Amino acid sequence: EAIWLGQGWAACATSALLVRVFTVGGVQKEIFSLPGPVVSMAGHGEQLMIIYHRGTGFDGDQCLGVQLMELGKKKKQILHGDPLSLTKKSYLVWVGFSAEGTPCYVDSEGVVRMLNRGL
């Protein structure tokens, strides 16, 4: 469904709602389940951000969730299952990180949002 390469790792999200994380040598180092089908993934350094469907949207809106983790020697969950806010009746068009490593995304209305982990 989705793949992403990070710093020393590769992640693969499957149709079975699993995410497998591999070393660049091909050895699987992590496997975990997603609560819904993957929409997109992005990485920066050791960070992996996964956007997925949390449920059926209401009245044309999307119902998306986000997981953000750090994939160092040991996986560390930073955000788990938080809702991803979008403009009414819009959809996700881009997900990634700023040059400094802040998770960002853009919806179809052109609104750019950053995930502030400090709050």
Share of the chain above pLDDT 70, in %: 97
Q: How many domains does the chain have?
A: 1
Is residue 6, in this structure, part of any structural domain at all?
no
At residue 58 the predicted structure's pLDDT band, cuts being 50, 70 and 90, is: confident
| 44: containing domain | 36-114
- Mean pLDDT computed over 54-65: 86
Q: What is the CA radius of gyration of the chain?
A: 14
Domain assignment present for residue 12? The answer is no
pTM of the predicted model over 0.75: yes
> What integer is the mean pLDDT of 20-45?
93
Q: Which two tokens stand for residue 9?
A: 């790792």
Helix (H) / strand (E) containing 40: strand 38-44
Question: Which of 10-14, 31-35, 72-76, 81-85 comes out lowest in average pLDDT?
Answer: 72-76
